[in-house]
Each structure stands twice: as structure tokens, then as C-alpha cells.
Amino acid sequence: MPASAPPPTVDQTTLHPAPLGLADLGGALRFGLAQFRAIPMLSMAFALLFVAIGALMFGLLEFGAIAPMSLSLAGGFMLVGPILLAGFFGVSDKLRKGRNPSFGDIWSGFRQMPRGGWVVSFVCGLLFLIWITDAGILYGFMVGREPIGFLRLLRIEQVVLDYAGYSAIMGGVLAFILFAASAFSIPLIYDGRATLVSGVVASVRAVFGRFGVMMCWAFLLAAVIMGSIMALPLLLVSLPVMAYASRELYYRVFPLA
């Protein structure tokens, strides 16, 4: 497994994104899978927390007979996903240095996150609340009070498809804005390489400067995570793999001097 351990803090006033190709996406995925294989139990133990939260939310949706809202919750997870990255960063960086990570490194990752990173995370959470509120209003107009459980979702009814399509359009706009702003700003701020403003600017520049490749990554990330949420146990593997892969992709876009 490649090991390019970064120093904890890099003072760099100008950030120039490096060229990026589809081969880099494959390399990042292979790296993420390699890190997961190195520490599968720790990775899945951390991911289990979010699987449990997802199972609880799905249970509430089934109890309320509003199962189609699960599609919106799965999409909304992409808005709050950046909040989780600090814990995975702490584990990933420890492993890069050739050490054995522990649960304490997850907590250390969150403690290391500077204030700017938490500001971005707060915005992510705020957009998630906006998204869920809008999705709930849309659900009320399109589906109404008709009870729909998860078993009925298997029928793939037109009303559910229409709701999923329109909600995806609404959520896609928010997700794109957030992806462009946070894809690289979170790791840049975490590593001390940028402030809140410079990190967001560098992230947006990197996404739009390599738009085709980054959109491929965004769609792949969304498909894997959302698909795993709908088949919840898969999230135990996909969440850490994609988190580690995102960390590696960041180093390929913003390599250390």
C-alpha cells in the first residue's frame, strides 16, 4: 500500500491544483480499499454508528408509513458527509505513517479540525435541514398522506418515481454547491494548509478546473453511498473506503511541496 505520510501542518499561502485524470480516480479507490483492508474492524466500527442511526431513521419512516422519504434521507446524507471526514482522516493519516490506528485516533481527528472546518460542517448541516424540509413539503404535495411502507416501494409506483425525480433535482443543486465548496476545503483546513475562505476558493477552483473528472467522482461517490444507504449494511464498507479514497484524491489534487 502506498505511503506518502504528510506532515500535520503545512504553511502554504498559494494552492495550485495539480492535473487530474480518470486514472487518479481509480488509484484513489484502490488506495481507499487498501486502507480499509488494513484496518477493517476499526473502519467498520466507526461506520457502524451511522448505520445504526440510519436503521433508526428507516424504522421511524416505516412506522410513519412514509418510506419514500428514505430516498431523500439517502440523498441528504451527501450533504452531511463532510462532517464525518475528520474521524476518518485521523485514522487514515496514522496508517499512512506506518502506525496502528485506534479508536482514539478517530476522536483525535475531530479534535484536530480547526474552527474553519466546523464552520463548513455547520453549513453542511444547515443545508441538510433545508433539504429535508423542502423534501417533506414536496412529499406532502406529491404523495400526501397515503401510507407507503418499504415493501410497497418494491412495486416502483409512478408517484414514487415522480417524487424521487423532482426531489433529486432539488437536492442535486444543493449537493453540487456543497460539493464544490467542501470537496477540498475540509482537508485543506484540516491540514492547516488553508483558512476557511482560501480553502473554499481553492476547492471551487479545483472542481471547476477539472470539471469532467470531478463530476465523475461526484456521481460515483453519490451512487456508492446512496446505494449503500438503501442497502444499509453495505455502508459499513463503502463509507470508510470512500472516505479514505477521498483523502487520497485530495493529496493527488493538492500534492505537498
pLDDT digits (tens, 9 = 90+) for 142-162: 887 777 877 777 777 788 888
Instruction: Kindly tell me if the per-residue pLDDT of 255 is higher than 70.
Output: yes
Confidence of residue 238 (pLDDT cuts 50, 70, 90): very high
Assigned C-alpha cell, 155? 412495486
Best-predicted range by mean pLDDT (21-30, 127-136, 139-148): 21-30
Among the listed residues 170, 160, 180, the one whose alpha carbon sits nearest the alpha carbon of residue 230? 160
Using one digit for the tens of pLDDT, what is the confidence trace for 87-112? 899 999 999 888 889 888 898 888 88
Which are the contacts of 194, defined by CB distance < 8 A and separation ≥ 6?
12, 15, 185, 188, 202
Quick one: pLDDT band at residue 25, thresholds 50, 70, 90? very high
Q: Does the predicted TM-score (pTM) go above 0.75? A: yes
Q: What angle do CA 45, 24, 127 make, to 5 degrees?
A: 55
Provide the sign of the torsion angle of the four alpha carbons 177, 179, 185, 186, taken in this order. Answer: positive
User: Does 237 or 134 have the greater pLDDT score?
Assistant: 237
Rounded to an integer, what distance in angstroms lies between the CA atom of residue 202 and that of residue 127? 21
Residue 14 is predicted with a pLDDT of 55
- The pLDDT confidence band at residue 9, using thresholds 50, 70 and 90, is very low
What is the average per-residue pLDDT within 124-139? 83
pLDDT in tens, 155-209: 777 888 887 888 888 778 888 888 898 899 999 999 999 999 999 999 999 999 9
* pLDDT the model gives residue 159: 80
Is the CB of residue 251 less than 8 Å from the CB of residue 6? Answer: yes
pLDDT at 77: 75
Q: What is the pLDDT of residues 59-78, one digit of tens each?
A: 888 888 888 888 778 777 77
Phi, psi dihedrals of residue 114, rounded to the nearest 5°: -70, 170
pLDDT at 11 over 70: no
pLDDT in tens, 41-59: 999 999 998 889 888 888 8
Q: What is the pLDDT of residue 5?
A: 42
